Amino acid sequence: MKLNVTSADTSVASTHIVDLRQVIEAQVIRNSGWDYTSSSSYITLSFQIRSSKTGTYCVFLYTNDGSAKMYTAEYTVSSADTWEQKVIAIPGNSNLTFNNDNGNGVQIGWTWACGTDRDGTAETWSDLAFATSNQVNFLDSTSNVAYLTGVQLEVGQFTSSTLPAFQQESFGDNLARCQRYYLNYLEGTGKIVGMTASYTSSEVVLMHNFPTTMRSAPTMTIANATASHLRQAGTAPNTSAITLDVSSTLACMYNGTVSSGGSAGEGTVHFGDSTTNCTFSFESEL
C-alpha cells in the first residue's frame, strides 16, 4: 500500500488523528488461541515499511467490546526510502473483552500524525492513546511518501529471527475473504446478476446468490440503474429502478422495474449495459 501526502499539514490540531486501520472481527480474536486476559500471553504484529521521512512512528491496537482499551507501541524508521521490518509483541490485559460474534473486535492502526490530546504512553494499555508525543508528523510535506506491506498478526511472542514465515494465500482464498465484506457487479461489463420470471409487465423480483457467506446481511448500492437491462424473449428494456427487497448472508431478493416493454410471466435476466457504467454492489463491512 502506498501513502503519499497531497496536501501538507504542518501543525496538527490537538484533537486530530491521521491513521490507517485494519478492523478484525471479534470472533476471530476470541478464538485465535491468544489468552488475551493474561499479561504473559502475547500476539505479535509485524510488517514491512518504507518511508521517505525518518523518525518515530506508532502503531496501536484498539479493542471495541467491553471497556474499550488501546495499546500503543513505537517503532523507528531509521533510513529514508529503505525497506525495514518491524516486529512488535503485544501483551494481553485483564480488562480485555472480545465477544464471540462478527462485530468489530479490534482495530490495528498505523498512525501518521497525532494531536497532543490524543497521545499517551508507549507499551501500556490505556483508555486512549493513538500515538506518543514522539510521533512524527508525516503530513508536514507533500514530498513525503510511504509504503506498507507484509502485515502479519501471529499468536505468540516473536522476534524478527523467530517470526513464522509470511503466509502466502492463493488468489481464490484471498478473494473469498474480501467477498465476505464487499461484492461488486456489472460496471459496464454486461455481466448477468440475477434471473427469474417476470412478476408483472413492469416489475420483476430477482434472486441472487452470493459467492461466499457474507459477514452480515448486506446493504445494496446501485449507481446508474438505468444502464442495466431486464432481458426477455426478443426484448431488453432498460431498468428504471432497482431496490433491495430482502437479504441474508447467503443471498438476496431484489426488485427491478421497467417503464415499458416487459411481459408478465416470462423468464427474465438482469444484466449490465456493456457501454455504460452501472455499479451494483453489496456491503457488509465492519
Provide the number of structural domains found in the chain. Answer: 2
Q: Domain end: 108, 138, 168, which one?
A: 168
Is the pLDDT score of 97 beyond 60? yes
**Sole residue written with cell 478464538:** 31
Residues 38 and 159 in one domain: yes
One domain, residues 60 and 197: no
Q: Are residues 19 and 151 in the same domain?
A: yes
Judged by average pLDDT, the poorest of 33-42, 245-254, 258-267 is 258-267
Residues 160 and 19 both lie in one domain: yes
DSSP state of 226: G
* Cα first-last separation, the chain: 20
What is residue 264's predicted lDDT score, i.e. its pLDDT?
78
What values do phi and psi take at 183, rounded to 5? -130, 140
Q: Which of 143, 168, 193 is the last residue of a domain?
A: 168
Q: Return the amino acid letter for 230.
A: L
pLDDT at 271: 78
**Which domain-ending residue is among 141, 168, 195?**
168
CATH number, domain containing residue 97 = 2.60.120
Which pLDDT value is given to residue 115?
96
Same domain, 26 and 161: yes
Residue 187, phi-psi category: left (phi > 0), alpha (psi -120 to 50), beta (remainder): left
Interatomic CA distance for residues 59 and 9, integer angstroms: 20
**Are 223 and 157 within one domain?**
no
Domain with 234 in it: 181-283
For 178, half-sphere exposure in the C-beta direction (CA atoms, 13 angstrom radius) is 9
Best CA proximity match to 80, nearest among 119, 133, 21, 136: 136
In a domain, 175, yes or no: no
d(CA 106, CA 63) in angstroms, rounded, equals 4
In a domain, 8, yes or no: yes
Q: What confidence tens digit (pLDDT) does each residue in 14-63 have?
A: 999 999 999 999 999 999 999 999 999 999 999 999 999 999 999 999 99
**Domain annotation covers residue 174:** no
pLDDT for position 277? 72
pLDDT at residue 69 greater than cutoff 60:
yes
- Residues 149, 203, single domain; the answer is no
* pTM higher than 0.85: yes
Cα dihedral value 50, 52, 53, 59, nearest 10: -20
Give residue-wise pLDDT tens across range 184-208: 876 655 666 777 766 677 888 888 8
State how far the alpha carbon of 165 is from the alpha carbons of 33, 102, 154, in Å.
19, 28, 10
Q: Would you say residue 176 lies in a domain?
A: no
Q: Each residue of 140-160: pLDDT tens digit?
A: 999 999 999 999 999 999 999
